[in-house]
């Protein structure tokens, strides 16, 4: 098996309303890549959020009394805490510098996925802009896949990823937050290993494994390679969604 990940060079700094499909097709042309069946495009969350206008100027945010109270505990800007609350279903943990929440999309993450880095908005350069996660990453991935399939004639997968920390290890790693055509979890239970032992508990987080690989290729700072083309993914593409990857609350030992 050969898995090839190719970052698309020359991607511009996207703006609200930009056509991501056309930008990706142009990037593929610059790289001399022709889309084939079972190819996957992995996108950094930031460019999806930016094109969907998920930028917020903190000057426009009025913090609630609860946000002001939690801001003291978290040692954070009350306006940023207010956005955390709006984007979250529940606050799970607070310590100075960090809020751990159950995001409205269902996963656990720090600071509701709200990002300061590589974010700029219109108007006053001194304004404090932050970026929220896409409203519905699965829907964003599906819409992009449809456009790319119509343009290429190929059967594709699309994935939107973000960087998350983990409860049991240091360091962030790329994870999938939006899927279209890429299996989130691959169930290997019942298959035989090298010694004909039937696997009983093995479920592979295939989308997250690919997200981590793509994140490594993308980089985290000034690389400007927010889209990665993938060829050779070892599992069959199928309809999927973020929901299949979320651990049920009654099985979550960290809450």
Give the residue carrying structure tokens 């990002």: 115
Please say whether the beta carbons of 182 and 210 come within 8 A: yes
Class of domain 55-131: alpha beta
Whether 5 and 229 have beta carbons less than 8 Å apart is answered as yes
Q: How far from 5 is each of 137, 147, 213, 225, CA to CA, in Å?
A: 22, 21, 8, 12
* Per-residue confidence (pLDDT) for residue 148, from 0 to 100: 98
Residues of the chain with CATH 3.30.1330.100: 4-14+26-48+138-241
pLDDT one digit per residue (tens) for the chain, 255 residues: 799 999 998 888 899 999 999 999 999 999 999 999 999 999 999 999 999 999 999 999 999 999 999 999 999 999 999 999 999 999 999 999 899 999 999 999 999 999 875 565 554 555 688 999 999 999 999 999 999 999 999 999 999 999 998 888 899 999 999 999 999 998 766 566 666 666 666 677 899 999 999 999 997 655 678 999 999 999 999 999 999 999 888 888 877
Largest CA distance in the chain: 65
Tell me which CATH homologous superfamily contains domain 4-14+26-48+138-241. CofE-like (3.30.1330.100)
Kindly report the pTM of this predicted structure.
Answer: 0.90
Residues of each domain in the chain carrying CATH 3.90.1660.10: 55-131
**72 and 93 in contact (C-beta within 8 Å)?**
no
């Amino acid at each position: 098996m050969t898995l090839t990940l190719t970052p698309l060079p020359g991607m511009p700094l996207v703006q609200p309303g930009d056509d991501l499909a056309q930008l990706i097709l142009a990037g593929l042309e610059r790289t001399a890549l022709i889309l084939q069946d079972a190819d996957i495009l992995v996108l950094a969350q930031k460019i999806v959020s930016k094109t969907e206008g998920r930028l917020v100027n903190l000057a426009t945010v009025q913090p609630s009394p609860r946000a002001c109270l939690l801001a003291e505990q978290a040692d954070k800007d009350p306006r940023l805490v207010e956005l955390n609350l709006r984007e979250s279903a529940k606050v799970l943990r607070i310590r100075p510098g960090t809020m751990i929440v159950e995001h409205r999309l269902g996963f656990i993450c720090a600071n509701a996925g709200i990002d300061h880095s590589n974010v700029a908005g219109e108007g006053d350069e001194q304004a404090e802009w932050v970026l929220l996660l896409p409203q519905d990453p699965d829907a964003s991935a599906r819409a992009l896949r449809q456009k790319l399939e119509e343009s290429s004639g190929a059967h594709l997968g699309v994935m939107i990823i973000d960087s998350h920390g983990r409860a049991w290890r240091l360091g962030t790693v790329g994870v999938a937050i939006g899927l279209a055509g890429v299996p989130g979890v691959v169930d290997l239970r019942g298959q035989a290993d090298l010694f004909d032992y039937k696997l009983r508990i093995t479920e592979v987080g295939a989308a997250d494994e690919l997200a981590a690989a793509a994140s490594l290729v993308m980089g985290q700072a000034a690389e400007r390679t927010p889209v990665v083309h993938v060829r050779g993914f070892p599992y069959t593409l199928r309809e999927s969604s973020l929901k299949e990857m979320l651990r049920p609350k009654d099985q979550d030992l960290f809450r």
